[in-house]
Amino acid sequence: MSTRLNGQAQAALLFLLGATVLHAGLTDLHLRYVKAGLRPLLLLSGAVLIATAAATVWHERRRPPHPGEPHREPRVSWLLALPLFALILVAPPALGSYSATHTGTALQKPLGFPDLPARGPLRLGVGEYAARAVYDDGRHLRDRPLTLTGFVAMNGTGAPYLVRMGLNCCAADAQPVKVALTGAIPPVLRPDTWLEVTGTYTPRRTKDPVNDGPVPYFEVTRAAPVPAPSDPYDGAWGG
């Protein structure tokens, strides 16, 4: 018996792959792998795979059988479907403190800075705060309450960073943007804990020990643990 998958087995695997891609695109699962903006392409890819599977079944039913052609595929071939089920049942964790402490900050000067409200508290992304603090000297950030959310990472001396991983495309190219914390920091911090910190801008800066990149400080007045967000990556200001 030939070990090559017959058309129906190929169609079944194509359908499973398409259904898996659609499932990831229709839920937050895809945010563990790619940036949110790629969701339409995932949905389109899943639909194309399912349509291809249907076309393969239709073609196989219309094709006359050849003498001696095997009608059953090797059962071991269905092991190829296991990674697809694993993708659905066991979602990988988002990149965290280990990656952040072994990768230099990816902060780069943006082309410009969107306007901010002239007054009142601000809720900013870690990357946006870092970019404005370093490359805009904290204009529009001074003397006003700010709130950031990210996960905790420790540098080689045990000093805490607040971090978000930024994506250009997918998790494979994720890089961290780091903000050093000072002020009213909780006495016990665990790496990978997600924190919401409220405080103020400070002109103090340091350098990332991995690549000597700029790392601004944030003066904390209050910090509280929060659940990890559905989208753990920062796609707008991450690099």
Burial 48-75 (b: 16+ CB within 10 A, else e): ebbebbeebbeeeeeeeeeeeeeeebee
pLDDT at residue 4 in the model: 43
**Contacting residues for 188 by C-beta, under 8 A, at least 6 apart:** none
Q: Look at residue 30 and give its three-state secondary structure.
A: helix
pLDDT at residue 27 in the model: 67
Of 150, 158, 153, 129, nearest to 195 by C-alpha is 150
Burial of 199 (0-12, 13-18, 19+ CB in 10 A): buried
pLDDT at residue 182 in the model: 95
pLDDT at residue 2 in the model: 43
Hey, what domains does the chain have and what are their CATH numbers? 7-89 (no CATH), 97-234 (2.40.50)
- How much is the CA Rg of the chain, to the nearest whole Å? 24
pLDDT at residue 110 in the model: 86
pLDDT at residue 192 in the model: 92
Mean pLDDT for back-to-back runs of 10 residues, the chain (239 residues): 55 71 65 65 74 74 61 55 60 74 88 83 92 92 93 89 82 82 90 94 94 95 91 60
